[in-house]
């Protein structure tokens, strides 16, 4: 079963962390990735740039309109994700719980099963 | 010989060659790599040079040479050793078929079900890592990591290459059957991806089940599982429309069911029910056979289906079985009785919010005339499923009861 583990971040919460705490998160992700590769459960992981670098594209009257940043009113953004292939939902939750972000108030980890997949697998 | 015929031959021989190598040298991991290389060499050479007179001996020779290549890094020695390996092997290819032992090894209890499945398909099914990865829609690197991990675990567990005895053998056989069942289901439940490759998996599961059955013809559950697979696979063509939409059992075109598979399945299950202690696979096969017996959906012997589910519920209690029994009960005693039985599942946390429970309840509510309740449950079921085909089906049901 494939699951997408999304890391929902609140930039204000991230900014408030100390350098040690930030480093610990980085280390935690590194170890998590190693463990997932060894167990054969990792398909891919990608981290996204800071939401301040994002733009929203919409098309009005056939003309693309680009505005700064995503939805300004929202506090949480997608910081990155893990796409995994594991035994069942319980295992996906067990894995997600190992992500260091889960220990920090204000950072969210969401687990959802993949329903349809297409594209190049050898990413 | 044509290439598909060579592929079939290789698939059949690969586990025998691997068994022979492990029996002589031990070390599952090294032998497995060597056999994969030998099989690869054969797929390149045989179509051009023709199939050797003793294909199994050829494979054992080449694989042994590869294995020794691996063991001896010293180049000078490598040449001498591989020459020796050729001599030894060509005269003495053991005649025992170790495939079953190999299957037991691949379904080692210390492995996860996903790893057991992958290793079985590679070592016993003779599929390449790329083929297995493709079938399970994961990158080759992911599958390679899983297989190599599985091989290390088997090595660490220090399993001897022999069939376990008594209770342990019985226990391991259940795991083997479960793995074959999982492989079959992966192939049969078309959720996404290339349908063709999924069908291959179902066929591979049937081939392996046939092989186990040939070696253990007296085991009722082995027979039951094979029968279940054949009876289920017989309906493949009619389960979806050309557009990929699901067709429920009662709306399938039964004239298109594969009669050959059905007859074989019914024959197998009859023989096993007469001869051995009942197990879950036999009962499920008997249920499938009851459905197959009805020329039209209305002629289904629901009383018998219900009785079989009742026995299944007793020997292998499981909320999914109760759910299925509720469907049969509704057919014999009316939808309200079915709904009453369903309500006993509400407290089961495995079933809470499960799309099967929601959709069966929707279906029975529809039959009682409660269209509002049916609509609500079809919609909730559609949201809860992870299968797009099922979601489309449930949404079409929902819009049908709404109008």
Widest distance between CA atoms in chain B: 84
* B106-129 per-position pLDDT tens digit: 999 889 999 999 999 999 988 889
Q: Rounded CA gap, B241 and B343, in Å?
A: 33
Q: Rounded CA gap, A14 and A104, in Å?
A: 9
Model confidence at A72, in pLDDT bands (50, 70, 90)? low
At residue B94, does pLDDT exceed 60? no
Q: Rounded CA gap, B85 and B69, in Å?
A: 11
Q: Minimum mean pLDDT among A9-13, B123-127, B274-278: which range?
A: B274-278
Interface test with A, best of B140, B142, B355 (most A CBs within 10 A): B142
CB pair distance less than 8 Å for A42 and B142: yes
Distances (CA, A) of B347 to A19, A90, B310, B319, B342: 48, 19, 20, 11, 10
CB pair distance less than 8 Å for B115 and A122: no
CB contact at 8 A, B182 and B208: no
* A88-98 per-position pLDDT tens digit: 999 999 999 99
Q: DSSP letter at B316?
A: S
Residues recorded for chain B: 403
At residue B2, does pLDDT exceed 80? no
Q: Rounded CA gap, B202 and B195, in Å?
A: 11
Residue in A40, A42, A117 closest to B137 by CB = A117
Interface test with B, best of A85, A111, A119 (most B CBs within 10 A): A85
At residue B183, does pLDDT exceed 50? yes
């Amino acid at each position: 079963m494939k699951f997408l583990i999304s890391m929902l971040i609140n930039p204000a919460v991230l900014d408030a962390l100390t350098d040690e705490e930030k480093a610990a998160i980085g280390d935690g992700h590194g170890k998590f990735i190693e463990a997932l590769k060894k167990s054969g459960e990792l398909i891919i992981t990608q981290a996204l740039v800071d939401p301040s670098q994002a733009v929203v594209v919409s098309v009005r009257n056939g003309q693309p309109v680009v505005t700064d940043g995503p939805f300004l009113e929202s506090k949480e953004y997608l910081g990155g994700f893990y796409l995994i292939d594991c035994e069942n939902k319980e295992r996906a939750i067990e894995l997600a719980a190992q992500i260091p972000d889960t220990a920090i108030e204000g950072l969210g980890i969401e687990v959802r099963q993949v329903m349809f997949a297409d594209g190049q697998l050898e990413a | 010989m044509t290439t598909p015929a060579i592929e079939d031959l290789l698939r059949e021989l690969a586990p025998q060659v691997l068994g022979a190598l492990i029996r002589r040298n031990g070390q599952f991991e090294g032998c497995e790599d060597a056999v994969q290389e030998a099989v690869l060499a054969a797929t390149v050479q045989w179509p051009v040079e023709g199939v050797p007179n003793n294909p199994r001996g050829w494979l054992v020779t080449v694989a042994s040479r590869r294995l020794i290549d691996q063991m001896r890094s010293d180049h000078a020695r490598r040449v001498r050793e591989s020459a020796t390996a050729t001599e030894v092997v060509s005269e003495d290819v053991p005649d025992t078929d170790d495939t079953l032992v190999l299957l037991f090894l691949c379904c080692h209890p210390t492995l996860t079900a996903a790893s057991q499945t992958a290793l079985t398909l590679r070592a016993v099914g003779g599929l390449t890592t790329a083929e297995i990865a493709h079938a399970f829609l994961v990158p080759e690197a992911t599958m390679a990591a899983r297989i190599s991990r599985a091989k290390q675990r088997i090595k660490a567990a220090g399993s001897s290459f022999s069939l376990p005895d008594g209770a342990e053998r019985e226990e391991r056989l259940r795991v083997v059957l479960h793995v074959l069942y999982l492989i079959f289901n992966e192939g049969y439940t078309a959720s996404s991806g290339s349908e063709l490759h999924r069908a291959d998996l179902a066929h591979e599961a049937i081939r392996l089940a046939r092989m186990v059955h040939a070696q253990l013809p007296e085991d009722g559950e082995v027979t039951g599982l094979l029968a279940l697979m054949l009876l289920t696979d017989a309906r493949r063509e009619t389960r979806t429309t050309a557009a990929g939409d699901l067709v429920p059992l009662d709306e399938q075109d039964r004239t298109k069911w594969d009669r050959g598979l059905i007859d074989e399945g019914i024959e197998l299950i009859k023989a096993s029910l007469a001869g051995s202690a009942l197990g879950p696979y036999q009962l499920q096969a008997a249920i499938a056979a009851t459905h197959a017996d009805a020329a039209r959906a209305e002629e289904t012997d629901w009383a018998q289906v219900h009785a079989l589910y009742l026995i299944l519920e007793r020997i292998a209690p499981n909320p999914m079985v109760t759910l299925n029994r509720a469907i049969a009960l509704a057919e014999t005693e009316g939808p309200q009785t079915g709904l009453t039985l369903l309500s006993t599942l509400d407290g089961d946390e495995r079933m809470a919010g499960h799309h099967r429970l929601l959709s069966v309840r929707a279906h029975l509510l529809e039959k009682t005339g409660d269209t509002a309740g049916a609509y609500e449950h079809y919609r909730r079921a559609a949201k809860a499923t992870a299968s797009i085909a099922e979601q489309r089906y449930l949404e079409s049901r929902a819009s049908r009861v709404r109008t």
